[in-house]
Structure 1
Amino acid sequence: MYARAAAATTAALLGAGALALPSTAAAQTPADARVAHKSGTSLAHKDPTVVAHRGASAYAPENTLAAIDKAAWMGFRWVENDVQRTKDGVLVIVHDDNLKRTTNVEEVFPDRAPWKVKDFTAAEIAKLDAGSWFGEKYEGARVPTLTQYMNRVSRNHQSLVLEIKKPELYPGIEKDTLRVLRKTGWLDHHHVKNKLVVQSFSADSVKKVHALRPDVKTGFLGTPAAADLPTYAEFSDQINSTHTSISADYVSAIHRLKGAHGKRLEIFTWTVDEAAAARRAAGFGVDGIITNKPDVVRQALRD
């Protein structure tokens, strides 16, 4: 998830002028957060949900089955992933829009630069090693398809924040994603109500998911200006912002609104890997913390 992409989608939604970040965000300190939390400026409630970013990606190769298995082994129920589409229309779990960083694609297909996900078939991607870059222990790990991934999340009794990545590259990916979720049993009442969030940096993509399946919980990735939050609340249940861009006042502004399903608008913040940052975000009253190091965040919240 990248802040630059969030700014682009925000501008596209609301016109040529980019939205300003809340002015109080950068000035907040951990002490500010504690004072705000005690005074009620930020809504005090249960500890935030800890979400393992791309699985427990500090400890296993990101977006692989090994990463979500590691999160499950560590005791974390919620995981996050990134979905893109292959040349032949198969949805796969990978963050970057090319395969260079997390696979051996340059070795296997040396003449296929720039190695974009959309230029490879699912069968070709299935040949790639997506684990060796992280460590010898994970040699042979593969890029999972969304179907494989959902089956493993189900087996692990986990819940999912699913990010539709770069939807501008994959027209119709929202419908494709929902189709796979339906086929793997993830669009029944239980899963939709308790175990699934679909998010994107693209406001248009979030709108499409909401239009296609109004019952599915959705999140917009970014930090819109507080004055513009009601616009996003029309089609989102969450505003999911970088932890460095938020403040106690901003979290309170989110919580004062109702999201697309008539419930309090939520905020999940990312990517929080340090104890001090986790305590700061929790002090603001965020609903969820997305992290590569879920154990560090869990311990910080306990402390």
Structure 2
Amino acid sequence: MVLPTAAQAAPAHNRTAVVAHRGASAYAPENTLAAIDRAHALGITWVENDVQRTKDGALVVLHDTTLARTTNVEQVYPDRSPWNVADFTSGEIAKLDAGSWKGVEYTGARIPTLHEYLRRVDRNHQKLLMEIKSPELYPGIEGQILHQLRRDGWLDSQDVKHRLIIQSFNADSVRTLHARRPDIKTGFLGTPAVSELPAYAKFADQINPSHTTISADYVKAVHALKGPHGKPLESYTWTVNDAKTAQQVAGFGVDGIISNAPDVVRAAVGG
């Protein structure tokens, strides 16, 4: 009898990528440099972020389209409700405290520019799953992101192949990005109907749904199709923060799990 090798015997979920959602955001203020560093300290290679644009055209890393939840903008600029990112200049945003809401030890943390964020990810030898956040609010942001990635040295063949994925909830944005740089791996955030998956497979390499919307059959349907690079579509699911759910979705066969607590997920499923 021929015994299987260790690799052959390992459960499929041991190959599941673990991605730190907005950095290790269970432990440090989301989308800050501190959150990237916390993920690095935990040994997490992949980090996820969100990119938006300021009033004066700077690219910044922030999840919400308003500044209210994660900064002290209401105190610093009390008369500028609803405090939309697009209504503030990069200089104004740089004055905000984006850390103290998470704990006094993070007081003074700032919203990073995309340039600052890319430099820190690079310094930590990490990989990036980037979300283009609400691109319908920022016409042309895809080209601007590509320009910044190029300036920071992220568009050479090795980086594109091994350490960069760009995703969005906006299918038109993903399609635009793919048309501009078809070599970059792309993901669509959401759970399209199985009958619609072939259309997405023309411009997206990944279908990345909420963990509450998937099943083993859905993941199997995703894997049955090939994406624009001729490889089976992948599926990274979000946002999983406990061991039980992590083991469940890993059992469905997902390729990646995006988590605020990536160390918890890694301990549960490997990866």
Alignment TM-score > 0.5, same fold: yes
Q: Is the 8 A contact 1:51 1:288 kept in 2?
A: yes
The TM-score normalised by the length of structure 2 is 0.95
C-alpha displacement of 1:266: 0.2
SS in 1 for 2:15: coil
Letter in 1 for 2:196: D
Which of 123, 127, 132 aligns to 1:164? It is 132
C-alpha displacement of 1:302: 4.3
Letter in 1 for 2:180: L
Query: How far apart, in 1, do the equivalents of 2:265 and 2:13 lie?
Result: 17
Query: How far apart, in 2, do the equivalents of 1:70 and 1:99 lie?
Result: 23
Q: Is the 8 A contact 1:206 1:236 kept in 2?
A: yes
Which of 210, 215, 238 aligns to 1:242? It is 210
**Corresponding position of 2:98:** 130
C-alpha displacement of 1:47: 2.2
Q: Is the 8 A contact 2:14 2:269 kept in 1?
A: no
**1:224 is the counterpart of 2:197:** no
Q: Unpaired runs of 5+ in structure 2?
A: 1-10
**Corresponding position of 2:112:** 144
Query: How far apart, in 1, do the equivalents of 2:155 and 2:227 lie?
Result: 20
C-alpha displacement of 1:45: 6.4
**Corresponding position of 1:28:** none
Q: Is the 8 A contact 1:57 1:293 kept in 2?
A: yes
Q: Is the 8 A contact 1:248 1:284 kept in 2?
A: yes
Q: Is the 8 A contact 1:275 1:297 kept in 2?
A: yes
**Corresponding position of 1:299:** 267
Q: Is the 8 A contact 1:129 1:139 kept in 2?
A: yes
SS in 2 for 1:199: strand
Letter in 2 for 1:53: H
Which of 182, 206, 215 aligns to 2:150? It is 182
In the comparison of the two structures, how many residue pairs are matched?
A: 261
Letter in 2 for 1:107: Q
The TM-score normalised by the length of structure 1 is 0.85
**Corresponding position of 2:252:** 284
Task: Give matches, 1:85-164, under 5 Å.
Answer: 85-164=53-132
Query: How far apart, in 2, do the equivalents of 1:244 and 1:110 lie?
Result: 38
**Corresponding position of 1:265:** 233
Query: How far apart, in 1, do the equivalents of 2:47 and 2:94 lie?
Result: 22
**Corresponding position of 2:50:** 82
Query: How far apart, in 1, do the equivalents of 2:126 and 2:191 lie?
Result: 27
SS in 2 for 1:289: strand
Q: Unpaired runs of 5+ in structure 1?
A: 1-42
Higher relative contact order (CA 8 A, sep 6+): 1
**Corresponding position of 2:7:** none
Which of 151, 168, 172 aligns to 1:204? It is 172
C-alpha displacement of 1:120: 0.3
C-alpha displacement of 1:44: 4.1
C-alpha displacement of 1:213: 0.4
Q: Which runs of 4+ in 1 moved over 2 A?
A: 43-47
The alignment-based identity, stated in percent, is 67
SS in 2 for 1:282: helix
**1:214 is the counterpart of 2:176:** no
> Relative to 1, partners in 2 of residues 1:45 and 1:293: Cα closer, same or farther, differing over 3 Å?
closer
